[in-house]
Amino acid sequence: MFAVVTGASKGIGLEIVKQLAVDEENTVLAIARSSKELNLLKKSSPHNIIPFTGDITSPAAITKIQALIKKNTKHVDLLINNAGFLVNKNFANISSKELFQVYNVNVFAPFLLTQKLLPLMGKKNRSHIVNISSIGGVQGSSKFPGLSAYSSSKAAIAGLTECLAEELKSQNIACNCLALGAVQTEMLEKAFPGYKAKLSAKQMSNFIVDFALTGHQYFNGKIIPVSSTTP
């Protein structure tokens, strides 16, 4: 199996890559902006982790990712759009630069990366796209001050998931979205300073990996809340 994981240098993304790489038959392209963390990740499993250092909000980087994948495989079985960016600031004070940065990472980058990888997905072998959203992006869920840009961007990726599932189902590609609740990560600390979540990044990645490998047999176009607690 060939898997692509963004936001792979820390938190949930890092743990996802580690768990996928345990199976020596899997090859994982780990994408992140930090080369230091990616190199350490590569050393932990040198035979089946391919690191790529780059900014997925850059079209040039996405083109390079596509080229790198084509050198290593003819088919992408799994794409986990995990990279995320958060601004915690009062709505009235969020700058256009900050707003665009949140949407570039959380919406536009996964949109464009998925487009680039479509020719390598589906057909005879079913592929699975898993978009990582937030419980804050689910309509009707609790909302919190300071997270308007982040939560609305996560609502957008959830909506995109439903659109992709419909458009790609004839191509043997499933697309689902996991809306995560509180997980002990740097991003949670930024959103809710001092709050301690019941779940660790490793615990949540256990669920995500299992769902990524099997969920497309049962679901398509679903927005699934995965939340034991929400601050």
Q: What share of the chain is helix, strand, coil (3-state, %, to 5)?
A: 50, 20, 30
150 carries an active-site annotation: yes
Secondary structure class of 81 (helix, strand, coil):
strand
| Strand partners of residue 148 | none
> What does the alpha-carbon distance between residue 174 and residue 48 come to, in Å, rounded to a whole number?
24
> What does the alpha-carbon distance between residue 71 and residue 68 come to, in Å, rounded to a whole number?
5
Residue 195 CA, chain-centre distance (Å), reads 23
- Out of 103, 150, 195, 218, pick the active-site residue: 150
Residues near 132 by Cβ (< 8 Å), separated by ≥ 6?
12, 80, 81, 82, 84, 157, 177, 178, 180, 208
Distances (CA, A) of 53 to 50, 56, 191: 10, 9, 26
Are the C-beta atoms of 164 and 129 separated by less than 8 Å? yes
Are the C-beta atoms of 3 and 32 separated by less than 8 Å? no
Secondary structure class of 34 (helix, strand, coil):
coil
Query: Which residues are known catalytic residues?
Result: 150
